[in-house]
Amino acid sequence: MRNLRFPALAMVAIVFALIASLSTASAGDRVADKIEVSDVWARAMPPMQPTSAMFLTLKNTASTAHALVSASSDVARTVELHTHLMEDGVARMRQVGKIDIPANGEASLAPGGYHVMLIGLHAPLKEGEVLSATLTFEDGSTKTVEAAIRGLSYKGDGASHGGMKCGAGKCGMSSDGGMKCGGGKCGTSSDGGMKCGGGKCGGGKCGGR
């Protein structure tokens, strides 16, 4: 039995290696551990449509601002962070380098605003199924999320869950693909945020601020 015993020196080395690995992976230091992700869903698309989008709410529990810098998923060839902008009255999508999550605040990825674009789907996203995606934050830490795949008519969980709302109404996609709000249309305000009529969208809410 003697040769099964670890020499004392090896034990010391193992203990130090354990301490080192624990301290470098300290939970408190990873941005991913400070961000709570909820309402994760993706849009089911018709079979011929090679792109779709994923939506979610990011809640920052830290007192410093953080950012989502990229996302990836096996379901698509390319995954990009996008926003919607109104240009000459037309809603266009544009890739963004990051999505800021304010200190002790939320960033809402919702139809008509920020979204995770899934480009070159390997197979159609089917309603009722779930896809897995990995979110990467500015320190390189990652978080894996599961997105419920919803039908074309699903507009998000609504204002109470951080979806876009506009006054008393809800923002949704208009028939031309732009944002609409009640009878009006959502556009982009001068600071790049969404606005709706006279109001501004922010923190997942539109108007009344």
Least gap, CB of 9 to Cu ion (angstroms): 57
What is the spatial distance between Cα 188 and Cα 167, in angstroms, rounded to a whole number?
Answer: 16
Residue 31 CB, nearest approach to Cu ion (Å)? 24
d(CA 21, CA 99): 30
Per rule CB under 5 A, is residue 185 in the interface with Cu ion? no
- Comparing every residue's Cβ against Cu ion, the nearest one is 82
Widest CA span in the chain: 83
Min dist. Cβ of residue 117 to Cu ion (A)? 4
| Closer residue to Cu ion in complex, CB, 81/101 | 81
Restricted to residues 76-105, the positions that interact with Cu ion (CB under 5 A) are 82, 93
Q: How many residues does the chain have?
A: 209
Mask of contacts with Cu ion, 104-143, x by CB under 5 A? -------------x--------------------------
8 Å CB contact between 104 and 63: yes
Tokens of 170: 């809800």
